[in-house]
């Protein structure tokens, strides 16, 4: 009996290499990046697999319509838009690709932190405006500072790797992972992280446990906190808490690649008030959720996903 190729629906824009790679691996690829979520619901029953980025949620209603589905390939690290418990209860595999963009995230976090410490964003704009202010742009050094990494998976580990040459002290805490492959990183308990962290870098997934975790009460447990970095998910960090910490004089800087509500032109009145305060603070650097979004990671994610699909033996039905 000849094997039947698995049919996979790709619903988001991917690097151009995705279709040739899938074909070479033995899949039948249906690349439809302009498809709407409603259209996906109408045709999902025809496919053995689906590749998604952020266009739609793999929730119960969609999974129930996916009667042939054997796997979901998430083009990225986060799986907060996937109902993982229901998916696994249905016997459907979930494959994601944190290996594909971990280096991009580590570099981005490091770059924004250095830009913050050395006032590069402000200094650049001032010089271009004809202002030559050396003293006003005197920087801080990362050397000797204590960086606390909260969440020590692919992204947290990558950030620790990028920090190695800066002679800072690196602590790492993870509720669900033990040990460290990096001998320059000290694994610590939560109490130690609270007591000793000066620069907090958040690397946790968005779950019911982490949503809103870093609020004012929780952040007050960090006794020496001076800087917050968030390149994970915006919903884990309360922006009102960040503003309150600045108001109290506790924080000297923040680096935010993600926001609680990233539709910044559709904010509620309360959200707009907090956002405006962030914008007016030149000690806060923001970027539009691009920490993991590089030209290299765009292609590497394809490589990781296809490699994992092949390893799982999902290309063909015997």
Token readout for 98 is 């944190």
Selected catalytic residue, list 126, 289, 299, 303: 289
| 262 assigned to active site | yes
Euclidean distance between CA atoms 19 and 31, whole angstroms: 7
Please give the full DSSP string across 226-239, using - where no structure is assigned: -EEEE-S-GGGB-H
Selected catalytic residue, list 141, 262, 296, 312: 262
Question: Which burial class, exposed, middle or buried, applies to 126 when counting CB atoms under 10 A from its CB (0-12, 13-18, 19+)?
Answer: middle
Q: Which residues contact 5 (CB under 8 A, 6 or more apart)?
A: 26, 27, 28, 315, 316
| 296 assigned to active site | no
Selected catalytic residue, list 233, 235, 238, 274: 233
| 289 assigned to active site | yes
In angstroms, the Cα distances linking 91 to 153, 291, 295 are: 25, 32, 34
Beta-sheet strands, E only, within 111-215: 146-150, 169-173, 185-187, 199-202
| Sheet arrangement for strand 146-150 | 185-187, 169-173, 146-150, 199-202, 227-230, 253-256, 284-286
Euclidean distance between CA atoms 227 and 156, whole angstroms: 16
Token readout for 182 is 């990096």
According to DSSP, residue 181 is labeled S
Show which residues are catalytic: 233, 262, 289
């Amino acid at each position: 009996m000849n094997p039947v190729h698995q049919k996979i629906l790709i619903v988001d824009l991917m690097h151009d290499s995705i279709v040739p790679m899938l074909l070479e691996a033995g899949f039948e690829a249906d690349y439809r990046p302009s498809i709407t979520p409603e259209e996906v619901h109408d045709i999902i029953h025809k496919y053995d697999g689906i590749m998604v980025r952020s266009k739609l949620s793999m929730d119960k209603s969609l999974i129930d319509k996916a009667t042939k589905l054997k796997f979901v390939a998430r083009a990225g690290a986060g799986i907060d838009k996937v109902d993982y418990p229901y998916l696994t209860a249905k016997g459907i595999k979930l494959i994601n690709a944190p290996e594909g963009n971990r280096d991009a995230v580590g570099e981005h976090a490091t770059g924004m932190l250095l830009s913050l410490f050395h006032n590069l964003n402000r200094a650049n704009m001032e010089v271009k405006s004809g202002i030559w202010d050396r003293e006003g742009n005197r920087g801080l050094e990362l050397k000797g500072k204590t960086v606390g990494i909260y969440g020590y998976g692919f992204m947290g580990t990558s950030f620790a790797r990028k920090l190695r040459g800066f002679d800072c002290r690196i602590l790492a805490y993870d509720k669900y992972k033990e040990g460290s492959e990096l001998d320059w990183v000290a694994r610590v308990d939560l109490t130690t992280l609270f007591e000793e962290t000066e620069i907090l870098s958040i690397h946790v997934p968005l779950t019911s446990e982490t949503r809103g975790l870093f609020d004012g009460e929780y952040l007050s447990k960090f006794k020496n906190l001076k800087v917050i970095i968030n390149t994970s998910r915006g919903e884990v960090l309360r922006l009102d808490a960040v503003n309150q910490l600045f108001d109290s004089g506790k924080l000297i800087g923040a680096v935010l690649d993600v926001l609680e509500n990233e539709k910044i032109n559709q904010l509620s009145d309360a959200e707009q008030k907090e956002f405006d305060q962030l914008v007016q603070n030149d000690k806060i650097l923001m970027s539009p959720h691009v920490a993991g979004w590089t030209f290299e990671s765009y292609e590497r994610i394809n490589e990781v996903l296809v490699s994992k699909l092949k390893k799982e033996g999902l290309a063909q039905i015997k």
